[in-house]
A and B are shown apart, each in its own frame.
Chain A
Amino acid sequence: MSPLPTATDETSGEQQAAQHKQTVQIAFNGMNASFEYDPEHKAEQVRVHALDHYDVRGPERHQDFLFGPDNQTEIKDDATMASQVEPGSQLYLRPRTAPGGALQ
């Protein structure tokens, strides 16, 4: 049985996590903000953080995805940020497509 973590262990872990944090810029509808992330976390966490930050609401909010610096390559939700994004990158939060119309 492994010992319970001590307060010192936890503090040390938090400090280590903070040291490893990176940032990206995420643009949405003309606005741009900086987001901190843990490189080993899945990209979905950053996307949800951005959706909340920009107050994107409702059942359709998960139609907005993260796109990379070329604004064409989609950042995969289920892969880590480290595997897809360079720290400091400019990302974009937007829908993949926007159809509409009378008979659609």
Chain B
Amino acid sequence: MMRMDQEVLEDAFGHLRRCGAGRAECVLYLTGPVVDPTLIDGLMHPIHTACPGGYDVPSDAIGEVWNELLIRERSVRVQVHTHPGVAYHSPTDDSHALIHTAGFLSLVIPNFALGHVGFDGAFLAELNDQGRWTPVPFEGHLELVR
């Protein structure tokens, strides 16, 4: 189970709201130290394009993320993006994740993250041992810590 600082979640909502401005989706990556695979204590907000129904992180931006991760000895644990309405995993979300290793999480926040900071209405999926996304409950997979 991943442990996530409450401050990181608040910071994430701030980025998602400011960037998307209630008009476009936004994406960011929750990170933690390579040496502690269960801790999430930071985030990266990559350069990306976005519209009301989607986003894309281009190759050069992924390259920057990879460089930063290597320098700081950190790993992406969860990819997070917003939807304009209901949160779910689209076929593109399923097939174009940033990471394809078992246990990687994908968090989708509804309503451009304009609601309360938290997981109400959010969707969480985990990449399983066969490399397939499976919806999972927050309990037992992603715990907020203060």
How many contacting A-B pairs (Cβ < 8 A)? 131
Choose among B57, B66, B75, B101 the residue that contacts A92 (Cβ–Cβ < 8 A): B66
Closest Cβ of chain A: how far from B45's Cβ, in Å?
13
Whether B27 is near chain A, meaning CB under 8 Å from some CB there, is yes
Interface of B is mostly: mixed
Docked complex Cα distance between A64 and B95 (Å): 12
A3 within 8 Å of B by Cβ? no
Interface centre among A31, A32, A72, A103 (most CB of B within 10 A): A103
B31 to chain A, nearest CB (A): 8
> Contact between B95 and A101 (Cβ–Cβ < 8 Å)?
no
Cβ-neighbour of B101 out of A57, A96, A99 (below 8 A):
A57
Contact A72 B60 (CB under 8 A): yes
Could you jot down 23 A-B contacts, CB within 8 Å? A29-B75, A29-B99, A30-B70, A30-B72, A56-B100, A57-B127, A57-B129, A60-B95, A61-B131, A63-B95, A67-B63, A71-B63, A71-B64, A72-B63, A96-B62, A97-B58, A98-B79, A99-B56, A100-B96, A100-B97, A101-B51, A101-B83, A104-B91
